[in-house]
């Protein structure tokens, strides 16, 4: 199983070094750390695999504030998150730009965690399947691609999809594209084991609970004990 710690806009280099020194990946799982850009180098000083939180679709150019795949590879970064719901919500990310970023990163040699998921009003209107089908249709199969299903209504809200809801969504996604699928949406030590025991759940994209080394370790250990 794969576990990605998405630190969002938290942890500068000092806090990153402290976390890396304290964290040990439990036997039998893979854990990657996804710090902010300014902390990538600090995380890379450890033995832990490191992913960026975003990546541009061009190698270089007049794209102020963006970072390219070759730049990440030169640092030693292993992969990137693409299309997180917060990028879609706050920074105008679309299904098409997610496709461009994903394809370019994969072609460059990075691993990619591409995020999909429905809004709360879309779920309430019964549109979850249609939304997931549309978002996944922009992605293509690749051995280094992982999809993260993140119901947007469960991001940072304390709400969590039930194990049955997660299983249903993951089964749908895997029926569309044969790649591993992570669950992302208020994963914490208290609910990790039940979510991860579902047959179509291949790990987790962990947000707030990954900021504490003990909490993230406990989530990883929940999988290791299954």
Distance CA 222, CA 218 (A): 6
Going by the DSSP 8-state scheme, the letter that residue 144 receives in this structure is: T
| pLDDT range class, residue 148, cuts 50, 70, 90 | very high
Does the pLDDT value for residue 214 go beyond 90?
yes
CB distance 178 to 148 below 8 Å: no
Catalytic residue, chosen from 86, 93, 103, 150, is 150
The DSSP call for residue 50 is: B
Instruction: Count CB atoms within 10 A of the CB of residue 34.
Output: 28
Question: What is the tally of structural domains in the chain?
Answer: 1
Q: Which of 84, 104, 170, 200 is catalytic?
A: 84
What pLDDT, on a 0 to 100 scale, did the predictor assign at position 120? 87
| Mean pLDDT estimate for the chain | 95
Cα within 13 Å of Cα(135), Cβ side: 29
Percent of the chain past pLDDT 70, that is, above it, reads 100
Domain range holding 153?
Answer: 2-224
Active site residue 150: yes
Q: Give the tens place of pLDDT for each residue, 105-116.
A: 999 999 999 999
Answer whether residue 186 shows pLDDT above 90: no
Whether pLDDT at 155 is above 80: no
Instruction: Please report, for residues 31, 42, 165, 185, 206, the alpha-carbon distance to residue 5 in angstroms, rounded to integers and kept in the order given.
Output: 8, 15, 22, 12, 5
200 tagged catalytic: no
CATH of the domain at 111: 3.20.20.70
């Amino acid at each position: 199983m794969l576990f990605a710690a998405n630190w969002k806009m938290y942890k500068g280099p000092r806090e990153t070094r402290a976390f890396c020194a304290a964290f040990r990946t439990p036997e039998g799982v893979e854990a990657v750390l996804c710090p902010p850009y300014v902390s990538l180098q600090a995380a890379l000083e450890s033995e832990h695999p490191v992913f960026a939180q975003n990546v541009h679709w061009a190698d270089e150019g007049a794209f102020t504030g963006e970072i390219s795949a070759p730049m990440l590879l030169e640092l030693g970064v292993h992969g990137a998150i693409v299309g997180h719901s917060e990028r879609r919500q706050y920074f105008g990310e679309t299904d098409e730009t997610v496709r461009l970023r994903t394809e370019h990163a994969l072609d460059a040699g990075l691993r990619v965690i591409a995020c999909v998921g429905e809004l709360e009003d879309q779920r309430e209107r019964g549109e979850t399947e249609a939304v997931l089908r549309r978002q996944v249709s922009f992605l293509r199969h690749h051995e280094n691609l992982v999809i993260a299903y993140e119901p947007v209504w469960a991001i940072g809200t304390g709400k969590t999809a039930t194990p049955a809801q997660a299983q249903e969504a993951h089964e749908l996604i895997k029926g569309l594209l044969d790649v591993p699928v992570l669950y992302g949406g208020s994963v914490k030590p208290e609910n990790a084991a039940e979510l991860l025991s579902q047959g179509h759940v291949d790990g987790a994209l962990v947000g707030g609970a990954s900021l504490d080394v003990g909490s993230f370790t406990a989530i990883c250990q929940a999988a290791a004990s299954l």
